[in-house]
Chain A
Amino acid sequence: MNIFRGIADFSHLAAIIILLHKIWKSRSCAGISGKSQILFAIVFTTRYLDLLTSFISLYNTSMKVIYISCSYATVYLIYMKFRATYDGNHDSFRVEFLVVPVGGLAVLINHDFALLEILWTFSIYLESVAILPQLFMISKTGEAETITTHYLFCLGLYRALYLFNWIWRFYFEGFFDMIAIVAGLVQTVLYCDFFYLYVTKVLKGKKLSLPA
């Protein structure tokens, strides 16, 4: 594993834990898109089915189990425990417009027409757009709590670092996976606008708010 991949995985973990911690501490999931969190739970579930079929390393297995557990815990907090604080009216992105085309694409473009491989491909495609309901919610309300922006930054950083990881792996290992690379590029691009706001506003101590 190279340094980019290592930092990326921990940035991803940090994002997940920041979100869980924020919801737990404030006893509220205001401003958080439950739909994005359900999509991430689906992403992890469909991607990590290989937990049942193959063992890669203790690190790999532990991280996969932690990601899955945390994402289900987050969904539970939003839709069950702190449901009263969930801002469903603003979480109005139509997820079927993501899931259906992504499902179709996974069936059409994959490395191998086998169930596990198609589900893995589906999870890669779905992850690249799973944050859209959250970004849509922020654009609708015009603002985000600072802690939510830290969450988004860690999540975006994770994907950006994976791009460096793939460049590294291509040069030093001759490894590349076109499906992951293209989806990773799309995913990173979706965060660019947010990165700009994060650097120009949040890092200067201002709240992230969008012009009306």
Chain B
Amino acid sequence: TPLQNSLSEFYSCV
């Protein structure tokens, strides 16, 4: 089954 990514892997927190 595919793993769900997390948004923080794509965008940095500001």
Query: Do these two chains interact?
Result: no
Could you list which residues of chain A lie within 8 angstroms of chain B, going by C-beta atoms? none
